[in-house]
Amino acid sequence: MPGTKFNFQLANTDGTARAGELETPHGKALTPFFMPVATQATVKGLTPEEVRGAGAQVVLSNAYHLYLRPGVETVKKLGGLHKFMGWDGPILTDSGGFQAFSMGPLRKVSDDGIKFRSHIDGSEHNFTPKLATYNQESLAPDIAMCFDQCIAYGATEKEVHQAMERTHRWAKECYDAHQVSPTGADSGQALFGIVQGGTFESLRDESAHVVSEIPFHGYAVGGLAVGENKEDMYRFTSQVTELLPQDKPRYLMGVGSPEDLVEGVARGIDMFDCALPTRVARNGSLFTPEGRVDITKARYAEQQNPLDETCDCYTCQNYSAAYLRHLFRAKELLGLRLASIHNLRFVLSLIDQIRSAILEDRFGAFHREFMSSYKPADEVARQRQNEHKLRTRIV
């Protein structure tokens, strides 16, 4: 119930893979878990009941978008984000730092914060660590994220270092603001710090040490899945998790490909989020145990069976692959919804399987078996997806 203190307990470890439990003001969540992205207080095209039915425990919303529209004060007056969007489970909110930074020439970064013009109406705004913390306290999610400075992939070490040091200062400001607010720490709301440092080992070390010295409720690995190759993403994830407190949850931001969930858990990650499962679903790209397939291909035109006969989602239990293909070819909105339900259920079921494997001390075998049978999207396609994600994170 609201007011419950945030708590995290590990149930078992298998190598570096972990299974645990988060207690939040709006209920418990078993880790590892994946958060569907409800940027505008909705997972695109789906009702809260459908998201819950797919197996979601926690969803993620974005404080930048809700600050601009309908406004955090409006959400607060309407009873907070949970009541506003009709979701009674835990919610995590992103601070909006990435979206403000993504405004390109429409924003200016200083030690005080980020000044930017709204992508909606051009109005001028100034995000500071204190305001970002207040916004999230007003929205009243169970987990709030520190305001950080994101940096583009390929930036120089000097640029990454400068952004990292600014992120560290802002982390302390966010923590201090959260501690003194009656609607922040005292309400049971958790605050997570974010480790930055780009693809520079020494900076990642420094950032992990500095951020973990602040007693946040949990810690996130930021600045990955933004253009670097998978090997680097996995390597820096491992580096950071080895340095973070063992008794706090670890969150790998913006990651949601099936293979990345398995590899992330193998490196000690407890929490994930990404819009990828639903975004690619709306383009007709659906997950199967062997990898992604394009449902619009002719080979599905007369397939009477469901796309994935091993899947227990609403879509696969009720509709044929041929019907799904027809919906996409006819540009019917139902196709986008059914595909989104399937992809969400696929990744959430995968997370359930991962947790069971950890609890039964067989995660290593599960890891090997999954990676031997699942074919990831090719690297060129992945880079296109990253570019699309970076272009569209503000809209």
Query: Which amino acid type is present at position 232?
Result: D
pLDDT in tens, the chain (395 residues): 445 789 999 999 999 999 999 999 999 999 999 999 999 999 999 999 999 999 999 999 999 999 999 999 999 999 999 999 999 999 999 998 777 767 677 788 999 999 988 889 989 999 999 999 999 999 999 999 999 998 889 999 999 999 999 999 999 999 999 999 776 666 899 999 999 999 999 999 999 999 999 999 999 999 999 999 999 999 999 999 999 999 999 999 999 999 999 999 999 999 999 999 999 999 999 999 999 999 999 999 999 999 999 999 999 999 999 999 999 999 999 999 999 999 999 999 999 999 999 999 999 999 999 999 999 987 656 556 555 555 544 44
Q: Assess if residue 252 is contained within a domain.
A: yes
Q: Assess if residue 1 is contained within a domain.
A: no
Residue 394, pLDDT score: 46
Sign, CA torsion 240/114/151/382:
positive
Q: Assess if residue 390 is contained within a domain.
A: no
Residue 389, pLDDT score: 52
Residue 351 CA, distance from chain mean position? 14
Same domain, 270 and 290: no
Same domain, 27 and 165: yes
Same domain, 261 and 306: no
Same domain, 317 and 261: no
Digit-coded pLDDT (tens) for 108-119: 899 999 998 888
Q: Single out the residue of 198, 214, 193 nearest to residue 150, CA to CA.
A: 198
Residue 106, pLDDT score: 74
Q: Assess if residue 268 is contained within a domain.
A: yes
For residue 7, give the 3-state DSSP assignment. strand
Same domain, 140 and 288: no
Note the residue count of the chain: 395
Q: Beta 218-221 vs 190-195: how paired, if at all?
A: parallel
Structure tokens at 73: 């004060």
Which residue, of 274, 294, 326, is where some domain finishes? 274
Active site residue 273: yes
Q: Which of 14, 148, 260, 273 is catalytic?
A: 273
Same domain, 61 and 98: yes
Which residue, of 274, 297, 314, is where some domain finishes? 274
Same domain, 264 and 287: no
Q: Which of 94, 142, 148, 270 is catalytic?
A: 94
Span between the terminal Cα atoms of the chain, in Å: 33
Q: Assess if residue 147 is contained within a domain.
A: yes
Same domain, 148 and 260: yes
Q: Assess if residue 389 is contained within a domain.
A: no
Active site residue 14: no
Which residue, of 274, 303, 334, is where some domain finishes? 274
Same domain, 153 and 179: yes
The CATH number assigned to the domain holding 219 equals 3.20.20.105
Same domain, 35 and 156: yes
Q: Beta 59-62 vs 7-14: how paired, if at all?
A: unpaired
Question: Could you give the CA distance from residue 1 to residue 87 in angstroms, rounded to a whole number?
Answer: 14
Sign, CA torsion 253/101/163/137:
negative
Residue 99, pLDDT score: 78
Query: Which amino acid type is present at position 350?
Result: L
Digit-coded pLDDT (tens) for 264-275: 999 999 999 999
Alpha-helix runs per DSSP H in the chain: 48-53, 63-68, 72-77, 81-85, 97-101, 129-139, 157-180, 201-212, 230-241, 258-266, 276-281, 314-318, 321-329, 333-359, 363-373, 379-392
Q: Assess if residue 386 is contained within a domain.
A: no
Same domain, 308 and 250: no
Q: How many domains does the chain have?
A: 2
Domain of residue 289: give its range.
281-379
**Tally of CB atoms within 10 A around 235:** 17
Q: Assess if residue 55 is contained within a domain.
A: yes
Same domain, 305 and 177: no
